[in-house]
Chains A and B, each alone.
Chain A
Amino acid sequence: MIKTSFHIALQILKVSLQAMLTSTLSFISGKSNLKKLYHSTFGTVIIIVMIFFILALLSFFFGAFMVVAIAVGGQADIYFFAVFAGTVIFSLMGSIFASQSYLFEAQDNELLLSMPISPTIILTGRAFTLYTLNFLYSIIVMLPSFLAYVSFVEISFLGLLFYLISFFIVPVFITALGCIIGYVLWKIASKVPKKNAFSTVFGIIMLLGIAVTWLLIDRVSMTLQEFLDLILWTTENYLLPIHWYAVAISQGSIIYMLLFVLFCIIVLIPVLLFISRRFITIITTKENIRKKPYVRKPLRQHKVFVALLKKEIVYFFKLPGYVLNSGMGSIMMTIMGIFLLYKGVNIPEDVYTYLPNFDDVLKISIVSAVSLMAVMNDVSAPSISLEGKTLWILQSSPVNCMQIFMAKVLVAPIITLPGIIFLTVVSAIKFNVNVIDLIFIFFIPTLASFFSGVLGVLINLRFPRFDWSSEIIVIKQSGSVLLALLGAIFITGLPFIFAIIFPALLPNFHIGISYAICLIYLITVTVVCCLLLKSKGKKMFMTLNN
């Protein structure tokens, strides 16, 4: 009986992993057929490896910085506390919506429940999948952090062994945490009438909460040592399992390692049992939609383009994952603006000695920073893929393809505009800028945002994905989103390198020339992409899904 149940759970895991693998490998090509994937697998694998490498490199450098600051001074257990916290936060940020999606919103849940398979086994299979995802996220943080540590500090054999074991144990804890959060979110969302709005607001509050916490910590004046002592005291008294983990590795303690392993396993088992008892209710509970009686009201007529644009904007705000991932630029602009208003900028007087043109360098840096944040709103990059099975509506409609594309393109600058306006106002308050500067601080990022919209649609037309079961797969895991984001950052960032270097190196260099370089460049690339869209886009659009 146990053998059969375990076998079924493994089958569910196998199917989920196959789906995940196909989904990941096809994220560039948009091809879900495994045979066709062979042709694009090499390129796709290269890109996946590159992404992991870049993230791992960032983890390594951050880890190395922390090792030098903390662990070298003999406070290795605080370092491992930080690694643990960083791993948990990074994994949860990556998988928080996946927890809800894999556990409760998988499309085959009802099919599996109709078979002679207990909910516990189904949930266990799903939890295995979530564990695998958390394991991959954890490796990105834990492995480079470990390499950073051993580059500067000696580690005992037991410490090394326990750290390797923790690669497999920490994701168990994260999975349990993800299940709890997923259940709590489901529970709250099932009570509120607008589930998606709740999830969006929750995500934004979480991100702003991290930023506000950082600002509050910054406000408390304490030395680094006092701060580290505070962390140590907190973990020893209130976060014992993390204390066990940190001590087990830093001191090679068998007892603490056993305690930590037991803790992680003991947390997961009751969580799974608790959720499995409610699994059928969770799966079969429909969204809490208050059935309002229909009241006939006069219908509003819109022009075709306005109707298309309105549809895109409404869709954007209906998906929490879409807002939180593709609206990251706006969130960052808000946080940056609040930070600047609260903290201000202290410019040392002697900087003008080395950089007489510092004011001009600062102005163009502001423009570049706002522009780069603006292009992080890659709203249009998944927009074609998100049409999914409803693509037939637009394809069979008497609508010019360019109108469809422009509606998708314009969502990016529309969403980004409030952030740009906010930072323009903050710049006016906090920096020594005149009206002309403010016009460029507003206009260049807006143009950059429009460009990223055009690029996103172009790339998504070339690399669409329609084989998704959840929108979050397209928004977070599709190649076109990654390519469009990296492409927009690189292409937009290029002129700013010269625009910043020239006033820095040439004292008589006029800021107007920097603005002109950026403007002309952005206009040119935007026009080129628009022309490409006009000439090739229609054919690409009409042959989608054929």
Chain B
Amino acid sequence: MLKITHLTKRYGEKIAVEDLSLEISSGTIYGFIGHNGAGKTTTIKCCCGLLGFEEGEITVDGISIKENPLACKERLSYLPDNPDLYDFMTGIKYLNFIADIYRMEKDFRDEQIHRYAKMFEITENLGQPINSYSHGMKQKLALISAFMHKPKLILLDEPFVGLDPKASHEIKTEMRRVCDEGTAIFFSTHVLEVAEKLCDKIAIIQKGKLIVSGTTEEVRGNTSLENVFLELEENHD
């Protein structure tokens, strides 16, 4: 579903991502872990067409993001870390706007929006302007907008930030459910326990380079993901 081949991204002299290759299949939850400034956000942004890149190729469902970005974007949804939304809209109007953008049918959008709103317990807040929402509520609303149109690929940058435990649990359950239906999810996180329990596969990036990737069991080995991560950090230092 998502294939990253020899991706290199530079910001002037600085190499943010260097020769990174990854493949995320349909139905997989792929965790992306790394220290602050490792290149996780840059990689994810390249995958959804927000950032251009100097070398390499990224395809979504076999379509090149460089050659046909619109076709790729129709198949994916993206959520940045701390997403800023249209504060001047109410929650329901924002979701309806996103539904229009993704050309969702009327009945389907109605069903999806209210199902997710009930799941995250923000139904009663849908009529309020987004600028009155707490950070957690905004995060929930943004997650709804990412999931509701049933994309084939979901790219999430730190999706669990600001979520209460119940919402975290709900989103993890929903991630598993949509993946079982064939969607691929590629997300970055600093919460290693979540990555360990949720992800089918994990990649660890360090200073722009892929250090290790594979199934969670392969990456973790006989120890915990945290130990693996800390050991890698030490070795690199």
Contacts and interface: CB of A to CB of B under 8 A. Distances in A.
B6 interface: no
Nearest to A319: B88
B127 A301 contact: no
Interface of B: 48-52, 69-71, 73-74, 77-78, 80, 83-86, 88-89, 92, 96-106, 109-110, 113-114, 123-129, 131-132
Contacts of A542: 49-50, 52, 69
A398 B113 contact: no
B97 A307 contact: yes
Interface of A: 286-287, 289, 291-296, 298-304, 306-307, 311, 314-315, 318-319, 388-390, 392-393, 395-400, 542-543, 546
A43 B123 CA distance: 52
Which one of A294, A399, A400 has the highest number of Cβ atoms from chain B below 10 Å of its Cβ? Answer: A294
Given A298-B110, A389-B84, A395-B50, A289 B102 contact: no
B121 to A, nearest CB: 12
13 contacts: A286-B132, A292-B128, A294-B124, A298-B110, A299-B109, A301-B99, A301-B105, A315-B86, A390-B84, A392-B78, A393-B86, A396-B50, A542-B50
Contacts of B114: 296
A541 to B, nearest CB: 11
Given A294-B124, A295-B127, A302-B100, A287 B88 contact: no
A304 B100 contact: yes
A533 B52 CA distance: 20
A295 B92 CA distance: 11
A304 to B, nearest CB: 6
Contacts of B105: 301
Contacts of A400: 70
A258 B206 CA distance: 69
Contacts of B49: 395-396, 542
A535 B140 CA distance: 38
A304 B73 CA distance: 14
A466 to B, nearest CB: 11
B99 to A, nearest CB: 7
A388 B87 CA distance: 12
Chief secondary structure at chain A's binding surface: loop
Given A392-B83, A393-B86, A398 B109 contact: no
Given A289-B128, A293-B124, A397-B73, 11 more contacts: A299-B92, A299-B106, A301-B104, A302-B100, A388-B84, A393-B86, A393-B98, A395-B50, A396-B50, A398-B101, A542-B69
Given A294-B123, A318-B88, A393-B86, A543 B52 contact: yes
B95 to A, nearest CB: 9
B86 A311 contact: yes
A402 to B, nearest CB: 11
B129 A289 contact: yes
A546 B52 contact: yes
A312 B38 CA distance: 37
A303 B100 contact: yes
B98 to A, nearest CB: 8
Contacts of A543: 52
Nearest to B114: A296
Given A287-B132, A299-B110, A542-B52, A396 B85 contact: no
Nearest to B151: A398
Contact of A294 (B77, B78, B85, B126): B126
B102 A398 contact: yes
B70 A398 contact: yes
B99 A398 contact: no
B101 A399 contact: yes
Nearest to B102: A398
Contacts of B73: 396-398
Given A301-B106, A398-B102, A294 B92 contact: yes
Nearest to A388: B84
Q: Give 3 nearest A-B pairs by CB, closest first.
A: A307-B100, A389-B84, A398-B73
Nearest to B126: A294
B85 A311 contact: no
Given A301-B100, A301-B106, A396 B127 contact: no
Nearest to B109: A299
Nearest to B122: A294
Nearest to A546: B51
